[in-house]
Structure 1
Amino acid sequence: MTLTRGSIQGYEIDRMVLLFSMMDGSKEIPCAVSASAMDNLEHVARTAPEGREEQFLRLRDRIEQCAARKFDAREFEGKPPGIIIRSIDFRG
C-alpha cells in the first residue's frame, strides 16, 4: 500500500526535529525530519524555530517522498517504530 499524507505535530526544539505522520491505510506512521536536513534542502544556514512548520510545508513533497522510500525499505527507528529523516537521506 502507498503511504499518504498524515498530520503535522510541530517542531520539537529539544530534539531539533519537526514531527509529522504518514498514513498506511488507517495506521498512522510517526515520522520526524531533522532541522539540518530541511536547512540543507533549502541551502540556508539556520531557520528560526518559529519558521520550521512553514519550511516543512515548502519541502513537504520531497520529505514525504523520502519517508515513503524509507517505509518501503523498512528503515524504522525508535519506540514506537517510526521514520527519521536526516540530511544523509537526501544525498545521492
Structure 2
Amino acid sequence: MTLTSGHFISHEYDRMIVRFSMHDGGREVPCAISTSAMDYLERGQQVRPEQREAQFTRLRDRIEAQAASKYRAAEFEGTPPGIVLRGIDFSA
C-alpha cells in the first residue's frame, strides 16, 4: 500500500504539532509532526507560529517519506490510529 499526499490541516500551537493527512487509496490517514522535528529538519531554525504552514510545505517531501515509512511498518498511534512523527524519526 502506497501513501499519497493529502493536505495540511493545521498548526496546533498548544500541542506543538502540525496536523496533515495522507491517503491510502480512498482512506484518509491522519498524521502529525512535532514542530521541534520540523525545526530539526531545518538544522535548528525555529520559526514563528504563523510560518509553520510554509515550513511544512518546504519540508513536505521529507515529512511524507517518513510518514509513509512508519505507515508501512504499521507504527500507528492514537485514536483514531494515525502516524506521529518526532525528531527521533529523522535522526540517522
Confirm or deny a common fold (TM above 0.5): yes
Match of 1:57 in 2: 57
* Alignment TM-score, normalising by the size of structure 1: 0.97
* Alignment TM-score, normalising by the size of structure 2: 0.97
Corresponding position: 1:17 with 2:17: yes
After superposition, the C-alpha distances for 1:36-74 in whole angstroms (9 at most, x for unaligned) are 000010013421100000000000000000000000000
Unaligned runs of 5+ in 1: none
**Identity of matched residues, %:** 59
Unaligned runs of 5+ in 2: none
Give the deviation of 1:77 after TM superposition: 0.3
Higher mean C-alpha displacement, 37-46 vs 58-67: 37-46
Secondary structure at the residue paired with 1:31? strand
Q: Moved runs in structure 1, 4+ residues, more than 3 A? A: none
Secondary structure at the residue paired with 2:71? helix
CA–CA distance in structure 2, aligned partners of residues 47 and 87 of structure 1: 16
